[in-house]
Amino acid sequence: MLNAPIADAMQRYSDDRALAFHTPGHKQGLGAHQLLRRLITDEGLRQEVSLMDELDDLHDPRGIIDEAQQLAAQLWHADHALFFVNGTTSAVQTMIMSTVGEGDTVLVPRNAHRCVSNALILSGAKPVFLCPEFDHDFDIALNITPSTVEQAVEQFPNARALVITSPNYYGVPADLKSIAEIAHRHGMLLLVDEAHGAHLQFSARLPISAMDAGADIAAQSTHKLLGSLTQTSMLMINSARIDLERVRRVSSMLQSTSPNYLLLASLDIARLQMQSNGSTLIEQTIDRAQRLREAIRSISGLRLFETPSLDPTKITVDVRGLGLTGLEAEHILRHQLKIQCELSDPNNVLFLVTYADTQSTLDRLLDALKKLSSMGKATGGRAINRRSTAPLIIEPIITPRQAFYSSTTTVALRESIGRISAEEITFYPPGIPLICPGELITAELVDAIEENMSVGRRVVGAADKSMLTIRVI
């Protein structure tokens, strides 16, 4: 019989009605404010407990957590799975810090998420950045090709590991099978940021999962496209090349010593849901997404991003034909048409279709896009041309860790050209650094920063959010 060990144990503890003289301070809801009661519910508050013997310990799992992690590993075709309640950021950082160390060379795609660059600071590893393919028509980074990896490993034969993001934010996968073969042939580890791929295991119509492709270790955001709570993730390990105990130690270093059991239980329940009915749910999702894509193709002024092997549940729509930027389209959709997209970039809006969507929700999205098309036509459909946002490959002068611990000063942005950056400049979404600490600031980089600021994108990592100044070594 299928079960959810963590959730079941929490229910049993709540039902036992032991009087609480332990954390948290609300004492299973007895002291909770009415707003918190409404937010979490009385039953949820009664189960918001931790660290009792029967509830196991995330940092030394020997009972229900260990059982739940084993069930997850089996479902996702891994040898081992670890649960994370500090987000996929901590899972990715655990993946990198447990496999590379001070001075190790690691191959990294330039369009990796900023959590990867932060992991490089923590680990002391030396990155060699690889340039992904780029779709200049839609202005979207695609992925790293096997030929790029082959060239890199020949040029840097002593590299310890290769990090790949697959699929990326827009649903574009890498050829992980070929890349895994190249990496392993050269004695390198393959680490995969699979934040947007927890659902891949459940349909042959989706890109291959990292575990099935031969990756050594992969971080998944279970909450992004499946049914766990925000901030919950899993780390999948599938290789004798990985030191499992080191992974566990690093995981313990980066995670809270007071993990929230509502979050842990949600991972357990998400696994149960997928084990019970995952293939059916994901196949239905793909069918609905494909019908939505077909309907969007006929809407005037909109273009649908399509590329081979794309995850069809990621719907990227170019709105330039409506005379709008992606950010303007997001604002109209959210505040006038009551549709919230996942992200907007200068040209596009991205929508996620998940197992939770019904034909009704997708019809509502389609109707909103048709109305957006009518609004855009009223502007005259002016074409919008702007500078490409292709990732820049910038010369590293010192490692990210060395830069992080160096003395810094602040200068005007335009005066920083030729200096070494002391900070990471990242525009959200999708959270890909334009420059990392330790890299040379170029005129092209400054132009890219000013372009992103001019279209209203949100900057993260900079001390000066106006980007009139920048910190340098």
Query: Residues 274, 226: contact at Cβ < 8 Å?
Result: yes
d(Cα 136, Cα 421) in Å, to the nearest integer? 27
Listed by start position, the domains of the chain span 5-275, 279-377, 400-472
Mean pLDDT along residues 165-180:
97
CATH architecture type of domain 5-275: 3-Layer(aba) Sandwich (3.40)
Res 387 pLDDT > 90:
no
Residue 389, pLDDT score = 59
Is 395 strand, coil or helix?
coil
Res 298 pLDDT > 50:
yes
Res 261 pLDDT > 50:
yes
- Per-residue tokens: 468: 């009139």
Mean pLDDT along residues 283-299:
98
User: With bands split at pLDDT 50, 70 and 90, how would you rate the model's confidence at 454?
Assistant: confident
Terminus-to-terminus CA distance in the chain, angstroms? 60
- Per-residue tokens: 183: 């990496």
Residue 471 β-bridge partners: 410
- Per-residue tokens: 76: 């996702």
CATH architecture type of domain 400-472: Alpha-Beta Complex (3.90)
Q: Where do the H-state alpha helices sit in 98-199?
A: 114-123, 146-155, 176-185
User: With bands split at pLDDT 50, 70 and 90, how would you rate the model's confidence at 169?
Assistant: very high
CATH number of 279-377: 3.90.1150.150
- Residue 218 carries which side chain, given as an amino acid letter? A
Mean pLDDT along residues 445-469:
89
User: With bands split at pLDDT 50, 70 and 90, how would you rate the model's confidence at 99?
Assistant: very high
Residue 381, pLDDT score = 40
Q: Express each pLDDT in 21-79 by its tens digit.
A: 988 999 999 999 999 999 999 999 999 988 788 899 999 999 999 999 999 999 999 99
Percent of the chain having pLDDT more than 70?
95
Residue 366, pLDDT score = 98
Q: Express each pLDDT in 308-326 by its tens digit.
A: 999 999 999 999 999 999 9
Percent of the chain having pLDDT more than 90?
83
User: With bands split at pLDDT 50, 70 and 90, how would you rate the model's confidence at 377?
Assistant: low
Q: Going by C-beta distance under 8 Å and a sequence separation of 6 or more, which residues neighbour residue 461?
A: 114, 423, 424, 425, 426, 433
Residue 382, pLDDT score = 42
Residue 214: left (phi > 0), alpha (psi -120 to 50), or beta? left
Res 420 pLDDT > 80:
yes
d(Cα 169, Cα 314) in Å, to the nearest integer? 8
d(Cα 349, Cα 314) in Å, to the nearest integer? 10
Q: Express each pLDDT in 186-233 by its tens digit.
A: 999 999 999 999 999 999 999 999 999 999 999 999 999 999 999 999
Res 395 pLDDT > 80:
no
Query: Residues 207, 233: contact at Cβ < 8 Å?
Result: no
Alpha-carbon dihedral sign for residues 240, 241, 245, 248: negative
Res 384 pLDDT > 50:
no
Average pLDDT, the chain: 93
pTM over 0.75: yes
* The 189-194 sheet, strands edge to edge: 80-84, 233-237, 217-220, 189-194, 161-165, 105-109, 126-130
Residue closest to 387 by CA, chosen among 447, 433, 427, 442: 447
